[in-house]
């Protein structure tokens, strides 16, 4: 899906006033569900009308976090991505495997300079089980 499709979906579902905790929870859900996506993924609105169709068969189907980050930055140019990373420290956050880690790092590289997200990921967390470790 394009940045415009992503932005429109977020607005359609009432997410134009995104807070760091909401962005972190969406990113967390993407990380948990990175694999097993159908190649012909479709997103429907509350009336059952198809909003987004992804028929891209070039790569293995997964979330396009680059598009997600760009759409978030378009909708909320003042978003503090450091706060988003801090909000990943919640009981539901878990990076299960390498592809999930790659998805997370891809999103954070798009959003923040490397030294900032590295310090935040490896700092002290409450959710020790979900924390990315060296």
pLDDT in tens, 76-118: 999 999 999 999 999 889 888 899 999 999 999 999 988 888 8
Number of alpha carbons in the 13 Å side-chain half-sphere of residue 74: 15
What is the reported pLDDT for 84? 96
Are 79 and 15 in contact by the 8 Å Cβ rule? The answer is no
pTM for the full predicted model: 0.77
| pLDDT mean across residues, the chain | 81
On the question of pLDDT at 2 being above 90, the answer is no
pLDDT in tens, 27-43: 999 998 887 655 555 55
User: What is the Cα–Cα distance from 10 to 115, expressed in whole angstroms?
Assistant: 29
């Amino acid at each position: 899906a394009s940045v415009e499709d992503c932005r429109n979906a977020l607005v359609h579902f009432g997410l134009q006033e995104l807070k760091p905790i909401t962005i972190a929870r969406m990113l967390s859900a993407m990380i948990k569900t990175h694999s097993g996506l159908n190649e012909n993924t479709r997103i429907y609105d509350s009336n059952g009308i198809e909003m987004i169709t992804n028929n891209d068969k070039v790569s293995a189907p997964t979330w396009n976090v680059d598009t997600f980050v760009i759409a978030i930055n378009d909708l909320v140019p003042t978003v503090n991505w450091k706060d988003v990373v801090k909000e990943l420290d919640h009981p539901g956050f878990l990076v299960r495997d390498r592809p999930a880690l790659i998805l997370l790092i891809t999103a954070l590289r798009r959003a923040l300079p490397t030294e900032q997200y590295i310090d935040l990921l490896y700092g002290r967390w409450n959710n020790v089980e979900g924390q990315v470790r060296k």
